[in-house]
């Protein structure tokens, strides 16, 4: 996996068990080895006091439980990045109160030992027991690279174990060597003599280390001169080509987008249905009243509203890990880098941007592949501007209002709304890079690894891990705020208007079900309008009036603070159509909206108001789960509030200009 | 080859093998460019690439190492 930076995870637990550290270059097969050793027992944690993510897992070595710490992928232990500093501190025992590791497993890619031994050389200098696990031996064999493992072990002064995770070959030996490390049977390593000599002069330390790795490889590794992977080279000619590379990227990403967006809709519907049934089931055992409403609408509805995103998150990370394992993701970042850099975004921002068209939550979580904090923050800030699936019901409603019986124009308006979101995201990233987060995007330095067959097990474990993080962290915040919103839309209680009693009486006498439903709708409308959310909507009417909105739309905006699509059901309640009418018969809602009048008798939903409403919902945040995930990923509410603030201001300004311009023109 | 600059990105590049004394092959010239060093391919922004000073290596020496340079 690329080096992921995650924020606001639980810190590494204090030292309870002896621990072994797993270190290696990116793409050396470290994660695969870690997963093979720990499986589902792994969990994600932070280095103490930092935002650097690593994974830990318990593993039984011999008969003793041991903690395995998976350090981020590293090229060196220099001060080039936070990850390198933190990894060095962890190995020196300066990260929290865990002390030094009982030993280090260095994962080295057998197909590229000369480069991988640079990090191994630095680790050997740390005077700790070290075992080197040689991965990709099968690939090395195919490339006609032969390694004298015994001789290499002597040169490095530590045990050397070739491993093949897929077949399990070498895993037993690796465990045995780990047991030896824990029992003190593996000697502490020391700086290789040759390296001692080379670094004693004033030469470049990089050169000195690589001279040493070259010398070691010269003695122990024999490769065919023509062994350069022709296949990788040939594929790269296409995939990194300025034109064909972009076309390949577009095809791969369209398929990827299809997976996330299309396949996820089925499990999303199942989860949604499951929670609707759970609500009905629980509701049967509870008397009518606030407790029932709290449990069914607040708690079950809130949890369901959060868990419905899980399929997208799981599918996104599953396919993202597969793409990364194949080596393609690095090529895609390479191809996109030139285009994205123009607006201040790194090439790696393309996957989160694409994913955000399904949902901003997995998109924001996918920004972990972006190493630079500023680049990542800019990407997170602009992602919710891209049209997600939750905006579609709102677009559908407004487009139907604007162009009834004109599907072509409605489709164009729809496409325009999508484009507006995309353009706004690019413009805002450009603005942020020149204002609050100044500076050039980090220049690209990206290894293009050899193409490999991906590991489905790795992808599955990653999807499970990310789903767990989402539920644990974002879920609690979403749950609390869902209950707060339920409270705001339920209290204070108000007496139903006298017409309700009359309508119910008449319905009783005539056994008229429709009349009974109308009475219920009128009661809901009245209760909602008098609740805190309803009163807030009325209170903000002077603020939203310049956008062409009346108090009823104001109520819709307030109630859809947590989820933008809620405006459709809120307007259904407010206009007395009934909460389910938007799904069952949307035309009844649209007819009601079209015929609604202001106090002066003029229609509310004019073209100017409709376009203004569309622009507002394209640009406004109006999504609580996204806010919770932004807080989690940036580590503070500050950026979540800023994101909410700038998007609301942008939406307001754009809707204001739209409404005033269209009103003036008409 | 020599690298004439100092920043975290340059250090990362050097830790990947783009440093003094190594043989580098220019696989693709453009923005970004692709370099090949120590058996790996690295995508590098041209503004970083500008800090890398290269000299054509002697043909025999290069070919001995199986890494005939184009640069």
Residue of B nearest to A115 (CA): B38
Helix (H) or strand (E) holding A448: strand A445-448
Its ipTM equals 0.82
Q: Does B70 reside within a domain?
A: no
Write out chain A residues lying below 8 Å of B30, CB-based. 242
Single pTM value for the model: 0.76
pLDDT greater than 60 at residue A331: yes
pLDDT at site A436: 92
A446: contact with B, CB 8 A cutoff = yes
Average pLDDT over residues B29-46: 89
Best probe of the A interface among B5, B42, B43, by most A CBs < 10 A, is B43
- Residues 333..352 of A with a Cβ closer than 8 Å to B: which? 333-334, 337-338
Q: Tell which CATH architecture fits domain A19-223.
A: 3-Layer(aba) Sandwich (3.40)
- Is 70 exceeded by the pLDDT of residue A397? yes
CATH number at residue B10: 2.30.30.90
Q: What are the backbone dihedrals phi and psi of residue A394, each rounded to the nearest 5 degrees, phi first?
A: -70, -45
Buried (b) or exposed (e) across A140-156, using 16+ Cβ within 10 A? Answer: beebebebebeebbebb
A231 part of contact set with chain B, CB < 8 Å: no
- Using a pLDDT cut of 90, give the percent of chain A over it: 26
Buried b (16+ CB within 10 A) or exposed e, A245-256: bbebbeebbeeb
Q: Are A249 and A336 in contact, with CB atoms under 8 Å apart?
A: yes
Show me where the domains of chain A are located.
19-223, 244-432, 474-665
Residue B64 lies in a domain: no
> Could you tell me how many CB contacts below 8 A there are between chain A and chain B?
111
Q: How many domains does chain B have?
A: 1
Choose among A428, A308, A300: nearest CA to A359. Answer: A308
Whether A647 shows a pLDDT value over 90: the answer reads: yes
The per-residue pLDDT for range A64-112, each reduced to its tens digit, is 889 999 998 899 998 777 788 888 888 888 877 778 899 999 999 998 8
Q: Is the pLDDT of residue A574 over 50?
A: yes
Per-residue pLDDT tens for A456-479?
988 998 888 888 877 876 667 667
The pLDDT mean for chain A works out to 84
Interface test with B, best of A233, A238, A444 (most B CBs within 10 A): A444
Instruction: Write the pLDDT tens digit of every residue in A121-150.
Output: 999 988 889 999 999 988 888 888 899 999
| C-beta separation of A624 from A474 below 8 A | no
Query: How far is Cα A66 from Cα A528, in angstroms, rounded to an integer?
Result: 57
Q: How far apart are the CA of B49 and the nearest CA of chain A, in angstroms? A: 10
**Per-residue pLDDT for A166 more than 80?**
yes
Alpha helices by DSSP H, listed for A221-344, are 230-239, 244-258, 265-284, 290-293, 301-307, 310-326, 328-341
Query: What is the span of the domain harbouring residue B32?
Result: 2-58
Q: A38-52, A208-222, A343-357, A415-429: which range is least confident on average?
A: A38-52
**A579 has a pLDDT exceeding 60:** no
> Which among B16, B36, B40 has a CA at the least distance from the CA of A81?
B16
In tens, the pLDDT along A477-532 reads 667 777 887 888 888 988 888 888 888 888 888 888 888 878 887 888 788 788 88
A223 touches chain B (CB under 8 A): yes
pLDDT tier at A608 (50, 70, 90 boundaries)? very high
A79 to B44: CB separation less than 8 angstroms, yes or no: no
**Best of A74, A206, A235 to disrupt the B interface by mutation (most B CBs within 10 Å)?**
A206
pLDDT of amino acid A261: 65
- Tell me the chain B residues in contact with residue A114 when contact means C-beta distances shorter than 8 Å: 17, 38-39
Query: Is the pLDDT at A193 greater than 70, yes or no?
Result: no
Residue in chain A nearest B37 by alpha carbon: A115
CA A379 to chain centre: 11
pLDDT exceeds cutoff 80 at A57: yes
Residue predicted with more confidence, A4 or A473:
A473
**What's the angle, vertex CA A437, arms to CA A7 and CA A644, rounded to 5?**
65
Residue A15 has pLDDT above 60, yes or no: no
The set of residues, in sequence order, having a beta carbon less than 8 Å from that of A641 and lying 6+ positions away, is none
Searching chain B, which residue's CA lies closest to the CA of residue A25? B16
Please identify which residue in the block is written with the tokens 């008397």. Answer: A287
Cβ of B21 under 8 Å from any chain A Cβ?
A: yes
Whole-angstrom distance between the N-terminal and C-terminal Cα of chain A?
56
């Amino acid at each position: 996996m690329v080096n992921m930076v995650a924020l606001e995870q639980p810190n590494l637990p204090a030292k309870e068990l002896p621990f072994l550290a797993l270190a290696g270059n990116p793409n050396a097969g470290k994660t695969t080895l870690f997963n093979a050793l720990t499986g589902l027992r792994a969990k994600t944690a932070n280095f103490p006091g930092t935002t650097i993510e690593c994974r830990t897992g318990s593993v039984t070595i011999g008969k003793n439980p041991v903690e395995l710490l998976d350090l981020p992928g590293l090229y060196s232990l220099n001060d080039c990045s936070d990850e390198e500093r933190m990894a060095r501190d962890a190995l020196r025992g300066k990260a929290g109160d865990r002390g030094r590791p009982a030993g280090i497993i260095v994962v080295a890619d057998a197909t590229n030992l000369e480069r991988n031994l640079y990090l191994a050389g630095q680790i050997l200098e740390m005077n700790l027991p070290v075992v080197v696990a040689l991965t990709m031996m099968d690939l090395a064999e195919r490339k006609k690279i032969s390694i004298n493992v015994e001789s290499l072990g002597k040169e490095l002064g530590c045990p050397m174990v070739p491993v093949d995770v897929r077949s399990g070959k070498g895993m037993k030996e690796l465990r045995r060597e780990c047991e030896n490390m824990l029992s003190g049977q593996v000697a502490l390593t020391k700086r290789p003599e040759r390296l001692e000599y080379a670094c004693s002069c004033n030469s470049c330390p990089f050169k000195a280390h690589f001279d040493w790795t070259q010398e070691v490889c010269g003695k122990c590794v024999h490769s065919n001169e023509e062994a350069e992977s022709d296949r990788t080279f040939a594929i790269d000619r296409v995939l990194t080509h300025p034109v064909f590379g972009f076309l390949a990227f577009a095809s791969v990403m369209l398929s990827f987008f299809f997976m996330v967006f299309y396949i996820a809709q089925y499990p999303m519907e199942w989860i949604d249905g499951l929670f609707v049934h759970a609500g009905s089931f629980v509701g049967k055992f509870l008397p009518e009243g606030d407790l029932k409403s709290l449990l069914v609408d607040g708690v079950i509805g809130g949890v369901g509203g959060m868990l419905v995103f899980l399929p997208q998150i799981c599918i996104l990370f599953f396919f993202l890990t597969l793409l990364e394992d194949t080596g393609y993701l690095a090529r895609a970042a390479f191809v996109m880098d030139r285009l994205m850099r123009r607006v201040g975004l790194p090439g790696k921002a393309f996957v989160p941007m694409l994913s955000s068209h399904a949902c901003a939550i997995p998109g924001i979580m996918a920004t972990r592949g972006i190493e630079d904090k500023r680049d990542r923050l800019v990407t997170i800030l602009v992602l919710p501007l891209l049209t997600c699936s939750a905006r579609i019901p709102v677009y559908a409603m407004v487009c139907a209002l604007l162009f009834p019986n004109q599907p072509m124009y409605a489709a164009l308006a729809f496409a325009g709304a999508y484009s507006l979101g995309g353009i706004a995201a690019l413009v805002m990233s450009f603005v942020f890079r020149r204002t609050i987060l100044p500076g050039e995007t980090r220049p690209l330095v990206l290894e293009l690894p050899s193409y490999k067959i991906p590991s489905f097990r790795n992808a599955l474990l990653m999807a499970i891990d990310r789903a767990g993080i989402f539920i644990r962290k974002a879920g609690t915040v979403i749950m609390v705020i869902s209950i707060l919103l339920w409270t705001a839309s339920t209290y204070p209680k108000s007496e139903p208007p006298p017409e309700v009693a009359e309508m119910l009486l008449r319905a009783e006498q005539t056994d008229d079900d429709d009349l009974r439903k109308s009475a219920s709708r009128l009661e809901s409308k009245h209760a909602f309008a008098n609740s805190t959310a309803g009163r807030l909507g009325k209170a903000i009417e002077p603020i939203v009036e310049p956008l062409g909105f009346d108090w009823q739309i104001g109520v819709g905006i307030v109630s859809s603070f947590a989820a933008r699509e809620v405006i459709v059901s809120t307007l259904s309640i407010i206009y007395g159509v009934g909460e389910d009418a938007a799904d069952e018969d949307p035309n009844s809602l649209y007819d009601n909206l079209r015929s609604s009048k202001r106090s002066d008798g003029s229609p509310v939903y004019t073209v100017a108001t409709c376009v203004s409403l569309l622009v507002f919902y394209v640009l406004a945040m109006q999504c609580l789960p996204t806010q919770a995930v932004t807080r989690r990923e940036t580590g503070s509410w500050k950026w979540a509030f800023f994101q909410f603030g700038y998007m609301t201001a942008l939406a307001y300004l754009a809707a204001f200009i739209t409404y005033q311009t269209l009103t003036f023109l008409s | 080859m020599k690298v004439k600059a100092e920043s975290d990105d340059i250090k990362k590049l050097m830790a990947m093998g783009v440093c003094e004394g190594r043989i580098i092959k220019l696989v693709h010239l453009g923005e970004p460019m692709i370099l090949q060093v120590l058996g790996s391919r690295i995508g590098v922004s041209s503004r970083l690439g500008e800090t890398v000073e290269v000299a054509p290596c002697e043909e025999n020496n290069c070919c001995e190492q199986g890494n005939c340079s184009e640069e």
